Amino acid sequence: RFGKWYNSDASKPFRHLPAFEAVRSPHQAQHKAAHAALDACARKDNAAAEAAFSQMETATIGVLAALKQLANEAAKMMAKPT
């Protein structure tokens, strides 16, 4: 559950990193597209469902890219001598 971690105290050490904020928008887009896909499926609107799934896939790629960047930034932060 990424969202729970993102909004929890456990993420505090990483909140100052640029990629931490960069993941917010694609993560929100991922959820918005997922809800749109479910709504479209419930209406049996296959074209809208496919479009929403495509948007969700694009958002997921964005989330994964931001998480990769966050991992890189966190690794650099942890490697710095204190």
* Chain segment 3-59, per-residue pLDDT in tens: 899 999 999 999 999 999 999 999 999 999 999 999 999 999 999 999 999 999 999
What is the SS3 assignment for 76?
A: helix
Query: Of 63, 56, 62, nearest to 40 (Cα)?
Result: 56
Q: How far apart are CA 14 and CA 19, in angstroms?
A: 9
> The whole model's pTM is what?
0.87
CA distance readout (Å), 49 to 17, 35, 56, 60, 69: 35, 10, 10, 16, 30
